A = this chain, B = another copy of it.
Amino acid sequence: MPRLFYGALVTPTSRKEYLALPHSLLCVSDAGQIAWVANNVLPSDLQNELARHGLSDDPNLDLVELKTGEFLMPGFIDTHTHAPQMPNVGSGQQYELLDWLQEVTFPMEARFSDPGFARTTYETVVRRSIDCGTTTCCYYGTVHLEATKLLADIVHSRGQRAFVGKCNMNRESPTYYIEPSTEESISATRSLIEHIRSLPASCPPDSPPLVQPVLTPRFAISCTSDLLSSLGDLARSDPTLTIQTHISENASEIAYTKVLFPPESLPPLPPSAGEASRKARDTYAGVYDAYGLLRHNTILAHGVHLEDVEIEVIKAQGAGVSHCPTSNFNLSSGCAKVGALLDKGIKVGLGTDVSGGFSPSILRTVQDASICSKVVAMSAPSKPDDSDGFTNRQLPVATLLHLATLGGAEVCGLGSRVGQLAPGRAFDALVVSIRTDVGNPAVWSADLDARLDVAASGGELGYEGGRGQTETEELEGMLERFLFCGDDRNVRRVYVQGRLVGGKEYTM
């Protein structure tokens, strides 16, 4: 029995445009796929439209009618976060990256050697992520195999779409938090992959499973050449395996990476290697590239200080960047030049990077991505001549929405499956409400209340366009207010693959 949603709908169509459709009827199949979407279905046309699809006569019709002030949109994609760091969220903002790892992060991550602590913590981490509207999440775990298996189990049972990885780190790490050898690191990684791939299927037969493993060399600094080499072999043996790591977050990190991996220490490039790979040998990106870890399904977190030759090799290999502006501000890492990356055609999504970032919500990341782009634009000597470009310009709402949804999906290799509300895609979606009755005082909706009052007192609840706006413009305004002022209270329902998995109206 298909499920139908009737009401306002917002969905990105490109990096520069999105659709705001006040009257949509969307049909979700039993398998959780979007079967079809009909637009401009006015209330008076609803029965006719249902009839056109042979659905009007069923008394058990599963039709969700959105209220005034509610809209459907694709779920958020968090392309970079650290599940075990959530207990530190909002702590340690006085540090920059390398000190912060030593003082704040590693001591907390070490606690996940205790599976009991891991289970309790990860249960609430995953719950919070979903309730913030994140339908797909790329999780770093710790170095611990058991704890990371538990994370995958919890994500699987909660129904979130996710990539779960165990950190590889066998050097430049504290003695209490390090893997003893390359062999053990690789062996545990293989065990995790096998564990995740043996979880019961939760998707239609022709779709990838909701929970997938991801190779997770923490960052170049924490891996010996030997480990990177073995991870590269593992990656080559399985082209479908997603890879995530950090890149070019902080000046000290970049400098130390170059000390540890001088070009002459890297494996030779194969004869088939392209010009971009050759030029990037003495860069941070060049290290990952040399070990075969930079490819179409690599997720690179940060990319704050990328050199031009690095951007070229990332583009050439088809890797994507997870932009984490809240973290980059919080750890004084810098402002990533996202506009320039977009103009180069690099795939870009957003990451909360908890606890470098101090919020588990992609909404905060959206706001800080806007601010970051404005800081970059203010600091730039001049705007580019190309008025259509993103370089050194503030990101408009359409682009912010894209980064938070479809852009993130592209970075995760799910660009054809989620991130848009369109036929043939999985129904990974949010029901958002900006109504006053959800209780978030930061979102203004008194204009809406005035209309609802009219209706409540017997008047007709028509569209009045209080600010002289069209219905489409009003919906665009609702989206902007949600993105800039919203929080988890505005996320009423969270669906993944058609299944209700979270949000304020969800009870387990």
Contact = CB atoms under 8 A, between A and B. Distances in A.
B90 A443 contact: yes
B94 A360 contact: no
A30 B457 CA distance: 44
Contacts of A332: 374, 377-378, 394
The residue among A367, A441, A477 with the most chain B CB atoms within 10 A of its own CB is A441
A334 B132 contact: no
The A contact surface, by secondary structure, is helix
Contacts of A379: 379
Contacts of A132: 441-442
A179 interface: no
A500 to B, nearest CB: 18
Nearest to A504: B439
The residue among A120, A132, A378 with the most chain B CB atoms within 10 A of its own CB is A378
A89 B442 contact: yes
A226 interface: no
Q: Which range contains the number of A residues in contact with the other chain?
A: 35 or more
Nearest to A487: B487
Interface string A361-405: 100000110110011011100000000000000101100000000
A193 to B, nearest CB: 29
Interface in A308-361: 329-330, 332, 334-335, 358-361
A346 B487 CA distance: 35
A481 interface: yes
Contact of A444 (B90, B131, B329): B90
Contacts of A446: 87, 120-121, 124
A487 B360 CA distance: 14
A483 to B, nearest CB: 8
A89 B443 CA distance: 7
Nearest to A367: B358
Nearest to A92: B480
A447 interface: yes
The residue among A124, A371, A477, A480 with the most chain B CB atoms within 10 A of its own CB is A371
A375 B329 contact: yes
Contacts of A484: 90, 93, 358
A396 B334 CA distance: 18
A249 B445 CA distance: 28
A480 B480 CA distance: 29
Contacts of A375: 329, 335, 375
A485 interface: yes
Interface in A150-209: none
Contact of A94 (B359, B394, B440): B394
A396 B329 CA distance: 14
- Nearest first, the 10 A-B pairs at minimum CB distance are A90-B481, A90-B484, A90-B485, A128-B441, A329-B371, A358-B484, A332-B374, A89-B444, A87-B444, A441-B488
6 contacts: A86-B444, A90-B444, A93-B370, A94-B394, A124-B446, A127-B441
Interface of A: 86-91, 93-94, 107, 120-121, 124, 127-128, 131-132, 329-330, 332, 334-335, 358-361, 367-368, 370-371, 374-375, 377-379, 394, 396-397, 440-444, 446-447, 450, 467, 477, 480-485, 487-488
